[in-house]
């Protein structure tokens, strides 16, 4: 049987196009296979043109005829049941937790509505071009990231390995957030939410008595009906009562949801080298459950995940709509929305605002993981991949705005009820498990809204997790990491168990600090490097115009010249600038993590003083610094190595 060693399933075997012919080197005359680890060699064909100024590398392939449904005869390959499955899976992968708990925070912090200007600009020069590139290259070459980039040029084999490694690292820690959400879902199934002050704080009654006394004297001295002497006495009593409230030595009553998250949910230790009480049994159980759910979603590959996405990718929108209707009808919602969207045009002069917009646009679309490329490879050859790319990007960005309206309408209500400004909100866990959880306490039938909110977060996390896991399983099997005869269900189970065991380190007393290493260093730099070399590989090595020809052959229309300019010039330059800024930020100071130290009135431990934010930046120990560097090097080192090794540098 003729072995497919090329990248264009539509090309006839007798192709004689000028350029360089790629053949797999096989000294043992065994059947060629990527799983043997051989990356192939270049052989100059007789009809090549010496001294050509064309920057593209033409790769001649030998393949069998393509079947009508887009598959290659002789090669068994899964396909999506229909286009809806592909779109829902891609949307589910792109739309994740960051849309709900990062974009609203960035928008509010960086000038409100003014932030949308750089955000939309980067959507056109970064988001859409890279999405179209990944969809088109996957649909054309019909393989995993490892296979595709190796076939374009052996020196780019490291790009595929980088996609595999960064997806593997993401799977390790992203599921931890799902475990937190599962725990919150279960504990919300009560009459009273457990992070309410009266439920979790032992000194709640005493604190409320002091607050009532303070409010009483405040009302007295601000009353115009009182004479001057009594007003002055009331003001003095108010100041005394206020001082007692402000200095009350119990963090729990000051911010119950934050106290509950750190001490009850995480059971956190004082620092990264303090193991605390060991493994958190509740989180271990939720972590196991999270992996069971993810495994069941991907156990049959896209045959199972393609059916699951009908629920996981759509139900979060139903919940968002329900929360939106409830949120905008609350008193104070308008103030929250004004906080979210009111433009501050002066903020556009700040370079950091533009960096945040570029970074958010890149990461929110799940680019450079290899998952989108793999998803597209299961589509028919003549699918309209360009239209699909537009659809996914637009829906993703619209979801971010939609989620921002939902979040800040409810935070506006919290501001009205508690006096805590809607602008006083962090991103990530700070928004979901603290600020928003606090806001939920003020809603009627609060357990119901909490249950809906955490179901939404779980579903957003689940489809992003199993989509990324798909980008791990395929390449691992293709590389021959497991025996060829081993069933995919078994391979997936083994990978899930290994990742579960690694994840146990993030549900111990110091687990949140380990989690921060992964969250801060595992993906950022690596994804930027991968995406930059993807643009270089397609536009400069494969050939920009040739790639446009391929898209025209698949879809019947040539991609807009603006996208071709972005692939070749604008996008890689933008990615390079973001990469430089990111590296600069990381190297400016020693790597630190945010340790929980408690409030100023009642520090969490005698070792560290409390703070207004309840956290303090501590330097990682030596082994922590090493792990931070390792997180960056694991995905990026293979890229550099194979470029040097295969380029003969």
Binding residues are: 92, 94-95, 99, 396, 460, 463-464
**Other CB atoms within 10 Å distance of the CB of residue 228:** 7
Q: Any residues with CB less than 8 A from the CB of 446 and at least 6 apart, and which?
A: 193, 440
How many residues comprise the chain?
649
Question: In angstroms, rounded to a whole number, what is the distance separating the alpha carbons of residues 39 and 22?
Answer: 10
Give the span between the Cα atoms of 490 and 473, in whole angstroms: 11
Helix (H, G, I), strand (E, B) or coil at 24: coil
- Tokens 């199993």 identify what position? 466
Q: Helices marked H in 433-570 — which ranges?
A: 436-440, 446-478, 488-503, 511-521, 524-536, 544-555, 561-565
Task: Confirm if 471 and 369 have CB atoms less than 8 A apart.
Answer: yes
3-state secondary structure of 83: helix
Type and span of the H or E element at 42: strand 41-43
The secondary structure of 374-392 as a DSSP string is HHHHTS-TT--HHHHHHHH
Query: Could you tell me whether strands 41-43 and 615-619 are parallel, antiparallel, or unpaired per DSSP bridges?
Result: unpaired
Cβ-based burial of 533 (10 A; exposed 0-12, middle 13-18, buried ≥19): buried
Q: Is 584 exposed, middle or buried (0-12, 13-18, 19+ CB in 10 A)?
A: exposed
**Lookup: tokens for 431:** 């928004």
Contact 95, 460 (CB under 8 A): yes
Contact partners, residue 284, CB within 8 Å, separation at least 6: 504, 507
Q: What gap in Å lies between CA 500 and CA 173, rounded to an integer?
A: 10
Q: Which residues contact 622 (CB under 8 A, 6 or more apart)?
A: none
Q: For 431-455, give the DSSP string.
A: IIIIIHHHHHTTSTTHHHHHHHHHH
Residues 6+ apart with CB under 8 A from 213: 241
Write the CB contacts of 118 (distance below 8 Å, at least 6 apart in sequence). 348, 353, 354, 357, 358
H helix runs in 95-202, sequence order? 97-101, 103-109, 116-122, 128-141, 145-152, 157-187, 197-200
Please state, in angstroms and rounded to a whole number, the distance separating the CA atoms of residues 17 and 543: 14
d(CA 125, CA 308): 33
Please, what sign has the CA dihedral across residues 611, 424, 462, 166?
Answer: negative
Rounded to an integer, what distance in angstroms lies between the CA atom of residue 365 and that of residue 363?
A: 5
Enumerate the known binding-site residues for Na(+). 92, 94-95, 99, 396, 460, 463-464
Residues 6+ apart with CB under 8 A from 559: 132, 136, 386, 548, 551, 552
């Amino acid at each position: 049987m003729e072995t497919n060693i090329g990248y264009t399933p539509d090309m006839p075997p007798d192709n004689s196009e000028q350029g360089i012919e790629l053949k797999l080197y096989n000294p043992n005359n065994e059947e060629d296979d990527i799983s043997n680890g051989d990356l192939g060699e270049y052989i100059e064909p007789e009809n090549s043109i010496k001294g050509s100024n064309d920057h593209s590398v033409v790769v001649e392939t030998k393949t069998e005829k393509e079947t009508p449904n887009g598959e290659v005869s002789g090669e068994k390959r899964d396909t999506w049941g229909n286009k809806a499955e592909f779109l829902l899976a891609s949307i589910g992968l792109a739309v994740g937790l960051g849309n709900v708990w990062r974009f609203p925070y960035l928008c509010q912090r960086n000038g409100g509505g003014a932030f949308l200007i750089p955000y939309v600009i980067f959507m056109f020069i970064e988001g859409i071009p890279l999405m179209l590139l990944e969809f088109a290259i996957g649909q054309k070459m019909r393989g995993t990231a490892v296979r595709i980039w190796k076939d374009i040029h052996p020196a780019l084999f490291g790009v595929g390995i980088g996609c595999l490694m960064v997806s593997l690292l993401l799977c390790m820690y992203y599921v931890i957030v799902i475990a937190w959400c599962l725990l919150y879902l279960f504990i919300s199934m009560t009459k009273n939410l457990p992070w309410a002050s009266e439920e979790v704080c032992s000194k709640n009654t005493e604190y409320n008595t002091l607050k009532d006394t303070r409010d009483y004297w405040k009302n007295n001295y601000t009353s115009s009906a009182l004479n001057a002497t009594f007003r002055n006495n009331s003001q003095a009593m108010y100041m005394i009562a206020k001082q007692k409230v402000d200095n009350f030595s119990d963090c729990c009553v000051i911010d119950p949801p934050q106290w509950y998250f750190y001490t009850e949910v995480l059971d956190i230790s004082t620092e990264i080298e303090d193991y605390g009480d060991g493994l958190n049994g509740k989180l271990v159980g939720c972590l196991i459950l999270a992996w069971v759910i993810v495994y069941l979603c991907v156990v049959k590959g896209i045959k199972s995940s393609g059916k699951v996405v009908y629920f996981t990718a759509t139900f979060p929108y139903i919940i968002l709509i329900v929360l939106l209707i409830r949120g905008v009808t609350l008193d104070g919602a308008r103030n929250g929305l004004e906080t979210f969207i009111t433009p501050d045009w002066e903020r556009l002069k700040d370079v950091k605002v533009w960096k945040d917009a570029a970074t958010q646009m890149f990461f929110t679309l799940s680019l450079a993981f290899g998952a989108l490329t793999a998803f597209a490879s299961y589509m028919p050859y003549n699918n309209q991949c360009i239209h699909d790319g537009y659809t996914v990007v637009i829906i993703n960005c619209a979801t971010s705005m939609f989620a921002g309206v939902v979040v800040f309408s409810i935070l506006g209500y919290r501001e009205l009820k508690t006096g805590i400004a809607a602008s006083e909100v962090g991103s990530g866990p700070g928004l979901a498990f603290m600020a928003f959880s606090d806001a939920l306490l003020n809603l009627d039938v609060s357990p119901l809204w909490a249950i809906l909110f955490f179901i939404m977060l779980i579903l957003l996390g689940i489809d992003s997790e199993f989509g990324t896991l798909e980008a791990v399983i395929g390449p691992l099997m293709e590389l021959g990491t497991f025996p060829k005869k081993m069933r995919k269900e078994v391979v997936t189970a083994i990978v899930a168990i290994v990742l579960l065991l690694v994840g146990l380190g993030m549900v111990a007393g110091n687990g949140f600090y380990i989690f921060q290493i992964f969250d801060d260093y595992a993906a950022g730099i690596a994804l930027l490097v991968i995406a930059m070399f993807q643009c270089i590989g397609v536009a400069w090595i494969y050939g920009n115009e040739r790639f446009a020809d391929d898209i025209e052959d698949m879809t019947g229309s040539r991609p807009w010249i603006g996208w071709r300019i972005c692939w070749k010039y604008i996008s890689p330059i933008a990615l390079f600038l973001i990469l430089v800024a990111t590296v600069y930020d990381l190297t400016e100071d020693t790597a630190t993590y945010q340790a929980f130290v408690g409030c100023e009135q009642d520090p969490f431990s005698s070792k560290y003083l409390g703070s207004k934010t309840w956290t303090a930046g501590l330097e990682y120990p030596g082994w922590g610094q090493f792990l931070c560097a390792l997180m960056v090097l694991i995905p990026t080192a293979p890229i550099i190595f194979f470029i040097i090794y295969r380029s003969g540098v």
